[in-house]
Amino acid sequence: MSKLEVLQNPKQRKLLFSAGLSWMFDAMEVGMMSFIVAALAKEWLLSPGEVGLISSSTSIGMVVGAALAGTLADKYGRKAVLMWTLLIFSVASGFSALATGYVFLCLIRFVAGIGLGGELPVASTLVSESVSAKERGRAVVLLESFWAAGWIISALISFFIIPEYGWRVAFLIGALPAFYALYLRKAIQDPPEFKKKKELKKVSFGEKFKSVWSAEHRKTTLMLWILWFTVVFSYYGMFLWLPSVMTSKGYELVKSFQYVLIMTLAQLPGYFTAAYFIEKFGRKFVLVVYLVMTGFSALWFGNAGSELSLIIAGMSLSFFNLGAWGGMYAYTPELYPLRTRSTGVGLSASVGRIGGVIAPLLVGLLVQKGVSFSTIFTLFFITVLVGAAAVLVLGKETKGIELAD
């Protein structure tokens, strides 16, 4: 039985695939930026701090997008918000190709970030609400696996397109998913439970925020905000800088694309093993083990002294970090009731995106000040261990539990 055959209902498989493609396009856009900024740094003679600010501009938009989309999805439905967020980041990507200067690019990347940040929590909530308890965790992790496919496509585009045709063409390719939004209008539907709960639309954001921080959910929300911040901080701090790390160690830009592509391929088995373990051993097991191993992989990568060691460490980093992401997206929607679920997921993702803002800027500043990559990756080692500890101490297991209405 294949991994996708775990969903017996054809409509659920179609939903997973349809939402997964939108997730893939999101990843393709984010992934291309890590390669584009490496090319822009040479063409525009950008400092490490300026490179970090371009990446952080997208992340600032994602902070706003995640918070807004989560609230709007509880009010207007998951399907509508998923389509609009996909449209926003696609159009903004197309306009990014017209950038003639640093400031304009930062501004348009902020707009793209609103769409990018909004789409992910809404898509995971939609899939989580549409499958049974025994398949839910695995389905959401498989949804996350489309992220790896997007990164692989971005690496291929960056390897074959950017050196030959320039970074502007890569941005134009990132605009193509706008057409996919038209397909989503008929391909997906809101979960039946959401359609029945018309009173959801009457609940204000203030009431939902209070519910998220009520005595019933306070411990859960604290755990999730720590988890999301540490995971997103480490991911964007490490992965957006991978091409730059490679070039700093003496590998030419085109060759670094090949290395990052190899490391990205390791994401897929990371997702698939997490999809298996999450239903066998539970959410907490996957998150704690994969985060701890992410931390040790970060130490290894930061201290790698040879080309082979650098590649293998990067593959290990990809395997465990992205497996942890899958577990996090599966876990988060399970911890809130229907009336505040998308808001709770969106706020957690928004707090996480703050980490995505800080990390590229911080790494850029540290590189500019001459801090070694060994020291920088030690920082990420400590960060992900904090996230693992939060889940271990504050988290509750949700394996096999039906979502609360």
Task: Report the share of the chain in percent with pLDDT over 90.
Answer: 29
pLDDT one-digit tens code per residue, 238-256: 876 766 666 676 766 556 6
Comparing 295 with 259, the larger pLDDT belongs to: 295
Please check the confidence at residue 384 and state whether its pLDDT lies above 90.
yes
Please check the confidence at residue 49 and state whether its pLDDT lies above 80.
no
The listed range with the strongest mean pLDDT (58-67, 75-84, 227-236, 262-271) is 227-236
Comparing 143 with 197, the larger pLDDT belongs to: 143
Query: Which pLDDT band, with edges at 50, 70 and 90, does 3 fall under?
Result: very low
Alpha-carbon distance of 143 to 6, in angstroms, equals 13
Please check the confidence at residue 194 and state whether its pLDDT lies above 80.
no
Indicate the average pLDDT of the chain.
84
Query: Which pLDDT band, with edges at 50, 70 and 90, does 287 fall under?
Result: very high
Alpha-carbon distance of 274 to 289, in angstroms, equals 10
Give me the amino acid identity at 217: H
pLDDT one-digit tens code per residue, 324-353: 998 998 899 899 888 788 888 889 989 998
The domain locations on the chain are 11-187+200-394
**How large is the average pLDDT for residues 356-385?**
88
**How large is the average pLDDT for residues 69-78?**
83
User: Which pLDDT score is estimated for 108?
Assistant: 94
Q: Which CATH class is domain 11-187+200-394?
A: mainly alpha
Please check the confidence at residue 227 and state whether its pLDDT lies above 50.
yes
Task: Report the share of the chain in percent with pLDDT over 70.
Answer: 90
306: exposed, middle or buried (Cβ count in 10 Å: 0-12, 13-18, 19+):
exposed
User: Which pLDDT score is estimated for 193?
Assistant: 66
